[in-house]
Amino acid sequence: MEDLVESILDYIRADYTDYAIMINGEWGSGKTYFWNHKVRNKIESMQLNGKRYRTIYMSLYGISNLEEISKKIFIETTQLMDKNLKKFMDSKEETTIPEYAKTGLDMANFFGVTQNGDKIDYSEFFSTDDKVLCFDDLERANVDVIDILGYINNFVEHDHIKTIIICNEKELSTKLKSSNLEMKTFIATYLLDKEGDLVKKTDKPMVERIQDTIEYVFDKANDYERIKEKLIGETFEYAPEFNYIINGILMRYEKYPELIRFLRENTNLIISTFNKSGTRNLRILKHALNDFKKIFDMVNKSYPNTNHRVMQTMLIFTIAISFEIKAGKVTKDKFVNINSNEEYKAILVSSRVFMDNRQFYIKEFDNNYYYNFKAEYRFFKFIEIYIRTRIFDMRVFKDNMEVIINTIDTDKLPAYKRLLTEEYWKITDDQFDGVIEEILDDVKNGRITPIEIVKMFAYFSYFIKRNLINYDIKAIKSVFLNGINIASLNATYCDNVEEELDRISVDEVGSDMDEVVKYFNEVNEKLKDKMYMEKAEEVFKYIPMKMELFYDKFAKECMDVPIFKYYDVFQMFQRISCASNEDIVTIKEMLASRAKKYTTEIEPEIKNIRKLKQVMDDYIDGKEPTIKIVMLEEFSKELANILDLYKPSFLGKKEEI
């Protein structure tokens, strides 16, 4: 970054220049901040050839004609500026006249300038020989970019004024190509028609021919490149130092002691969440932190003893959802139908267990922003509503906070969850023994899930090795293994075991831990079988009476799952044989395409597929041909094709299936 500053200063130091320089970077990446805090002061502190330069900054955002630019420069540079306005600016440490002040100026009367009643040409009245001009937001002007660059070129080429242009060239290119697109398309189509090219046979698609004609007739991009080559001597790519800028952004909250203390403590969390957003837009981060100030104030006012971890999660969620919505990465509707933290977590589980791709985004959101951050409560409806609608819903806020206090607050939080959601050393010495006893009681009675029992064993093993608790590791292991058995009676399958175990904040390994994990995996596989047996019963019961429901559920939930492994073969044949001939054909085709696409995933069901074929062949054998019999024969042949996919020659295996 310092190299970029020095390059800009070299341009200012040069005795003679007839070109401008450009600083190019993405929207919201901090280019204006860079100008104000890194460049402007250094330019104004320089003294060259006995004179000191003054910078004149102008945003072109919303400028609708060139006269407005002249007027802005005139106001900034004239020596006749009202003394009271100068005094106000000095007191506020302003370097440019506020827009509302400019609006209130009656230019002609205020400065005593007249031209026989004609419209004033402000460009005749300002002197810029000791000024450095900075034009920002070039791509956001409402004037043709070519005209603006031509206007700026007068200063640069004829008056040799040091000029810096700040813009986002990627957006500028898009703007040049997309302006008046309907009109351009109409004219291009008309020209193609007049030339007979609309009906001419060619390999080139019509859309491409129209686009080529538009670029040929209205090639503003080439005009821009030509004038840029003439005007811009050097283009610098702005690559911001985000950590430095973010620390600068936090300085605006210095007058709020509690808030700034919290933000400073969690600067790394802010930077990490910003980086995970995948954008470089600091403007959105500024808005998110402003929104968090409101949230922080409301929580501290109404619920002053809120858990610190919850506040950290609120900070992450506020920044994350701001980027997701405001950066255009996702439509606002993605979060609308999620009304609570429990619903949010349920969606995460269903999207993994039942392969529901409709919820894939929510899973990605959670994996991205909460990776390596343990938190029981990760979705705040009142924050989502506030960011999405700009309305702070007090009713939803109170509902959310009451749930948080009753489930997350450490005074009411179950002991095992305290270990899972906060560092163990934050538990006070006088509470520690009670926490251990409560967890042991929960484990013995199977009150917590099997995966949580495994995680608890890691902590207990860690505590025993460090003499924090006085238990025999073998006896404790027996208690925990039995606890897994009891808990499994009412538990559900855990499909993200590695992810769950990664959340353990103590580094515990060894044969005892390995044995507990191995036993859990065996129990978890049985829970998986139980889950899929229930799923198979639910899906296949729709054959043959409710086939539309069967097709929908099978397509969404069973395509890459070996579901036939979990259903009785004879019942399956009975259901298929009772279906209509059309449905028999449809099921056959669906299974064929599924086997080719998910060959590896559904391999465990092949034993039952072989049995199904045998049952089908036995039924067909010796029967007089009917349409249904023929359809079942074709079905059997397709099952044979599926089985062929698993022959050693196909899979490269040595053993027989």
Q: Is residue 189 included in any domain, yes or no?
A: no
Average pLDDT over residues 578-598: 94
pLDDT digit string (tens) for 357-416? 556 788 889 889 998 787 878 999 999 999 999 999 999 999 999 888 877 655 566 778
Is-above-0.75 flag for pTM? no
- Domain shared by 367 and 286, yes or no: yes
Average pLDDT, the chain: 81
Q: Which residue has the tokens 């985000």?
A: 242
Task: Give the tokens for residue 570.
Answer: 């004879």
Bridge pairing between strands 232-237 and 162-167: unpaired
User: Which residue among 525, 554, 573 closes a domain?
Assistant: 525
CA distance readout (Å), 103 to 107, 113, 522, 579:
9, 17, 75, 78
- Domain shared by 317 and 336, yes or no: yes
At 75, which CATH number?
Answer: 3.40.50
Q: Is residue 366 included in any domain, yes or no?
A: yes
Cα–Cα dist 62/103, whole Å:
14
Cα–Cα dist 513/456, whole Å:
11
Q: Is residue 202 included in any domain, yes or no?
A: no
- Domain shared by 294 and 396, yes or no: yes
Q: Is residue 187 included in any domain, yes or no?
A: no
Q: Which amino acid is at 46?
A: M
Q: Choose the weakest-confidence range: 45-54, 369-378, 594-603.
A: 45-54
Contact 411, 402 (CB under 8 A): no
189 exposure class (CB count in 10 Å sphere: 0-12, 13-18, 19+): middle
In sequence order, which residues have a C-beta less than 8 Å from that of residue 410 and are 6 or more positions away? 307, 418, 422
In sequence order, which residues have a C-beta less than 8 Å from that of residue 389 and are 6 or more positions away? none
Q: Which amino acid is at 531?
A: M
- pLDDT value, residue 99: 44
Q: Is residue 192 included in any domain, yes or no?
A: no
Contact 44, 96 (CB under 8 A): no
Cα–Cα dist 131/127, whole Å:
8
- Domain shared by 600 and 463, yes or no: no
- pLDDT value, residue 203: 66
pLDDT digit string (tens) for 511-539? 899 999 999 999 999 999 999 999 999 99
- Domain shared by 60 and 119, yes or no: yes
User: Which residue among 393, 412, 431 closes a domain?
Assistant: 412
- pLDDT value, residue 522: 95
In the chain, pLDDT over 90 holds for what percent of residues?
Answer: 42
Give me the number of domains the chain comprises.
4
Q: Is residue 200 included in any domain, yes or no?
A: no
CA distance readout (Å), 572 to 103, 542, 565:
80, 11, 11
CA neighbor of 125 nearest in space, from 79, 169, 85: 79
- Domain shared by 378 and 448, yes or no: no
The total number of residues written for the chain in this structure: 657
- Domain shared by 464 and 435, yes or no: yes
User: Which residue among 412, 428, 446 closes a domain?
Assistant: 412
Task: Give the tokens for residue 15.
Answer: 């005795």
- Domain shared by 16 and 143, yes or no: yes
- Domain shared by 281 and 325, yes or no: yes
- Domain shared by 383 and 425, yes or no: no
Its domain, for residue 481, covers: 418-525
Beta pairing partners, 167: 24
CA neighbor of 23 nearest in space, from 117, 125, 150, 137: 137
CA neighbor of 21 nearest in space, from 233, 238, 239, 237: 233
Q: Is residue 364 included in any domain, yes or no?
A: yes
Please tell me which residue, 76 or 400, carries the higher pLDDT value.
Answer: 400
Which secondary structure element, helix H or strand E, spans residue 168, and what is its range? none
- Domain shared by 376 and 447, yes or no: no
Average pLDDT over residues 70-82: 63
- Domain shared by 424 and 386, yes or no: no
- pLDDT value, residue 510: 82
Q: Is residue 490 included in any domain, yes or no?
A: yes
CA distance readout (Å), 257 to 77, 251, 260, 262, 316:
40, 11, 5, 9, 20
Q: What secondary structure letter does DSSP report for 621?
A: T
pLDDT at residue 79 greater than cutoff 50: no
Residue 1 CA from chain centroid, whole number = 27
CA distance readout (Å), 649 to 456, 595, 644, 645:
47, 16, 9, 9
> Of 50-59, 74-83, 248-257, which has the strongest mean pLDDT?
248-257
Q: Choose the weakest-confidence range: 139-153, 172-186, 309-323, 636-650.
A: 172-186
Q: Which residue has the tokens 């095992």?
A: 416
